[in-house]
Amino acid sequence: MMTKEKQETVKLQPLGNRVLVRRLEQEEKLKGGIILPDSAKKKQEQAQVVAIGTGKKDKNGAITPIPVNVGDVILMEKYSGQEVTLNDQEFVILRADDLIAVVEK
């Protein structure tokens, strides 16, 4: 669940066939009660869509819309995209082609 601080409006609009996402936080405690330090956490492949671009142009100039909506939880390629920090928040800008799936609620 996101806090009010993280829900503030992001003033970053991805262009074309790109999507702006925020990685979801990994659990800090394992089932056995062991707490993981930040250095031991792996990159999370689940993220929440924050903003989407206009879509990809095909050969005829028609725009193919991006198949996700703002607020969707997605799975993405582990090391894809460009990491950016804005207002002390970390985001990833990636191509829509790097999205693997939408996680159903």
pLDDT tens, position by position, 40-78: 455 568 999 999 999 998 899 899 999 999 999 999 887
The dihedral formed by the CA atoms of 98, 15, 64 and 7, expressed in degrees to the nearest 10: 70
Task: Count CB atoms within 10 A of the CB of residue 97.
Answer: 11
Work out the pLDDT band at 36, boundaries 50, 70, 90.
low
